[in-house]
């Protein structure tokens, strides 16, 4: 399973999304503004789940719309954090 598949699973589980809906997501799929469940509480929940899953820490000043713009940008951010760890 790829990191992107793991991120899709985290989004699905954390936001209680339909499996079919999540399976359609690609690297260029927009997240913010496209997934209504990804509101401010949803963002915190997803980032917390990612921190727990990968043993990383996402600092408050790292959280931006850019990292949550697409599935690919979120996956790249996680890859970068894992490499730093």
In this predicted model, what pLDDT tens digit does every residue of 23-59 receive, in sequence order? 999 999 999 999 999 999 999 999 999 999 999 999 9
| 70: DSSP letter | B
List the CATH code of the domain at 3-84. 1.10.1200.10
Nearest CA to 23 out of 42, 40, 4 is that of 4
Sketch the domain layout of the chain as residue ranges: 3-84
Q: pTM (2 decimals)? A: 0.94
pLDDT computed for residue 85 by the predictor:
83
pLDDT computed for residue 1 by the predictor:
79
pLDDT(21) > 90: yes
Mean of per-residue pLDDT scores for the chain: 96
């Amino acid at each position: 399973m790829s990191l992107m598949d793991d991120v899709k699973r985290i989004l699905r589980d954390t936001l209680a999304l339909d499996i079919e809906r999540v399976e359609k997501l690609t690297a260029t799929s927009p997240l913010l503004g496209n997934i209504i469940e990804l509101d401010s509480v949803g963002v915190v929940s997803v980032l917390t789940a990612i921190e727990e899953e990968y043993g990383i820490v996402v600092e408050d000043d790292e959280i931006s719309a850019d990292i949550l713009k697409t599935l690919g940008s979120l996956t790249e951010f996680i890859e970068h954090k894992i490499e730093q760890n």
